[in-house]
Amino acid sequence: MTHLLDIRNVSRRFGGVLAVNDVTGHVDEGELVGLIGPNGAGKTTLFNLISGFTPLSSGTVAFDGRTISGLKTNQVARLGISRTFQNLRVFPNMSVFDNVSVGAVGALPQGALGALFGSLAGGGARSAEISRRTWEALEAVGLTHVAGELAANLPYGQRKYLEIARALAMQPRFLILDEPAAGLNDTETRALADFIKRLHGTGLTIMLVEHDMTLVMSICQRILVLASGRKIADGPPDAIRRDQAVLEAYLGVDA
Is residue 10 a contact partner of residue 25, using CB atoms and an 8 Å limit? Answer: no
Contacts for 238 with CB less than 8 Å, ≥ 6 apart: none
Integer CA distances (angstroms), 117 to 91, 123, 124, 126, 128, in order: 20, 9, 9, 11, 12
- DSSP SS3 for 87: coil
The type of residue at 171 is: Q
pLDDT given for residue 251 in this prediction:
58
pLDDT by 10s per residue, the chain, length 255: 679 999 999 999 999 899 999 999 999 999 999 999 988 899 999 999 999 999 999 999 999 999 999 899 989 999 999 999 877 888 999 999 999 999 888 777 654 445 444 433 446 787 888 999 999 999 999 999 999 999 999 999 999 999 999 999 999 999 999 999 999 999 999 999 999 999 999 999 999 999 898 999 999 999 999 999 999 999 999 999 899 988 887 655 443
Cβ burial of 159 (10 Å; 0-12, 13-18, 19+) is buried
In order, the DSSP letters of 188-236 are HHHHHHHHHHHHHHTT-EEEEE-S-HHHHHHH-SEEEEEETTEEEEEE-
Instruction: Give 40's DSSP letter.
Output: T
Going along the chain from its start, the domains and CATH numbers come out as 1-80+172-255 (3.40.50.300), 91-169 (no CATH)
Backbone angles phi, psi at 156, to 5 degrees: -55, -45
| Angle ∠(240,241,245) on CA atoms, nearest 5 | 65
